[in-house]
Amino acid sequence: MYKLLIVDDEADVLFFLKTFFQTKNFEVHTAQSGEEAIQKAKEIRPHIVLLDIIMPGMGGLEALKQIKEIDPAIGVIMATAVLDNSAAKKALELGAYDYVCKPFDLEYMETTVLIKLIKMIG
């Protein structure tokens, strides 16, 4: 079973995405901050991280950088409510696989996760 870590400071977003991906047979873990995401990445070694860019405390870009230091093979997909081309570009430079905008298109998000997994195991 593939492990997915969802990181967002909004509890309703975490619940929504966790419920969706559990129905797709993922082992889903959640974190509400960049700091918690780093700790969970160390503990569970997820295959994929869905990571919010804008969060209080440690933001998504710093969390991305540290997650990639833990394990460069972890696939990170950034999520944002505000399309900021400079932040998106920086995320890709730091090793993010892709980024998605809120509100989420679940079909697109699922496809993006599956394509990244295929590339990882291919």
pLDDT value at residue 88: 82
* CATH no., domain 3-121: 3.40.50.2300
pLDDT averaged over every residue in the chain: 93
29 pLDDT band (50/70/90 cuts)? very high
- What average pLDDT score do residues 15-42 get? 97
- What average pLDDT score do residues 84-110 get? 89
- Could you tell me where the beta strands, DSSP code E, fall in 16-116? 27-31, 48-52, 75-80, 98-101
Residue 31 has pLDDT above 90, yes or no: yes
0.85 exceeded by the pTM? yes
Instruction: Supply 120's token pair.
Output: 């990882």
From residue 9, alpha-carbon distances to 6, 16, 88, 104 in Å are 10, 13, 19, 15
Residue 116 has pLDDT above 80, yes or no: yes
